[in-house]
Amino acid sequence: MKFVVSSNTLFKELQLISGVLNSSNALPILDDFLFQLKKNQLSIFASDIETTINTVVQVESTDTGEITIPAKLLMEMLKNFADQPLTFKIDTDKYSIEINSESGKFKIIGHDPEEFPKMLSVENPVALEIDADTLVSAINKTIFAVANDDLRPVMSGVYCNFSETGMIFVATDAHRLVKFKKPLAGVSGDTSIIIAKKPFNLLKNILTSKDGKVKLEYNKTNASFSIDNLRLSCRLIDGKYPNYDAVIPKENPNKLTLSREAFLGSLRRVSILSNKTTHQVKLKISGNALSLSSEDVDFSNEANERLACQYSGEDMEIGFNSKFLLDMLTNLDSDEIDLGMSTPNRAGVLTPIPQPDGEELLMLVMPVMLNN
């Protein structure tokens, strides 16, 4: 089996799919790329069993066959080639790979392609299309709030609901919650899936260099995302997602409105001197002034800042974990934010002002008990 391919083209495609590879694998074959050649089309697969990504590269060939090649070794080699055609000559019986460049010859050993896990199939799928930009936005604005909790696996993924009213993405770790909603055409019925954090992170990285529509296909166990020559397939998280709407306060009479950048900057500075365990920052709101303060009693550290704001409601003091607030503000891009509150022991609801066209974004953060 023989084919000729551009070194740069091959390296760029391998970079896109290599994120799925783990640093250590129970199965040695998962350290490899699977190459499947069908004349002038080379399909390349990378997998960690739960998630598989494949891409298709145009090559010069009239052969067919398959081989697995050590991923790290191949990428290290390709990274150090100037752009040039490389000729791969592969003995599929001995699993030997010879790579000829303009100036030299390199030989490495691959493995039996039969040992490589098969691509996850999505039988009898629900199919729909989402703009790549919309999907990236939905992932970016929710994935940071996903829990790292093996005891509650459903919360270690993003809940995705698709219906005639649009798409809803939700992530929560019980301390904070993000709900993203946007209209979506061409959806019939009402279905929901839970996608794990890793495949969504991989998909986000892939889509940042892509334009157009992403084709999503899913059933009760698996999902696949396809765009151009790339396809990502993953297992879904099985289970019932918590009733997120039940924890979102419906009445928040105390409304704080202020510059996102000013709030973000002040939080970054004040949080440096907060307690390293609780990361507590106190917000004291009175009239049109917001005071932010933190302290670390163990080291006699404290910080205070004052910001101008618009506020309607009763004067109040409320404490939040600054790390959670910083995550939320960093993943927004609006000029201003609105923080709705009811009492110091109930969740605060953060929304961007203005909301992006057609989007409804809500971020909820639980308060922490204030130090005396």
**Residue pLDDT, tens place only, 70-125:** 999 999 999 999 999 999 999 999 999 999 999 999 999 999 999 999 888 899 99
Q: How far apart are CA 52 and CA 29, in angstroms?
A: 13
Q: What confidence score (pLDDT) does residue 371 get? A: 66
CATH topology match: 2-115 vs 248-368: yes
The whole-number average pLDDT for the span 352-367 is: 93
Percentage, residues of the chain above pLDDT 70:
99
Q: What confidence score (pLDDT) does residue 303 get? A: 96
Model pTM score: 0.93
The whole-number average pLDDT for the span 278-305 is: 94
Q: What confidence score (pLDDT) does residue 358 get? A: 86
CATH superfamily assigned to domain 248-368: DNA Polymerase III, subunit A, domain 2 (3.10.150.10)
Q: What confidence score (pLDDT) does residue 136 get? A: 95
Q: What confidence score (pLDDT) does residue 372 get? A: 57
Q: What confidence score (pLDDT) does residue 41 get? A: 97
The whole-number average pLDDT for the span 234-242 is: 96
Over residues 243-255, the pLDDT tens digits come to: 999 999 989 999 9
Q: What confidence score (pLDDT) does residue 120 get? A: 85
Q: How far apart are CA 323 and CA 175, in angstroms?
A: 11
Residue spans per domain, the chain: 2-115, 126-245, 248-368
Model confidence band, residue 356 (pLDDT cutoffs 50, 70, 90) = confident
CATH superfamily assigned to domain 2-115: DNA Polymerase III, subunit A, domain 2 (3.10.150.10)
Q: What is the CATH architecture of 126-245?
A: Roll (3.10)
pLDDT over 60 (residue 183): yes
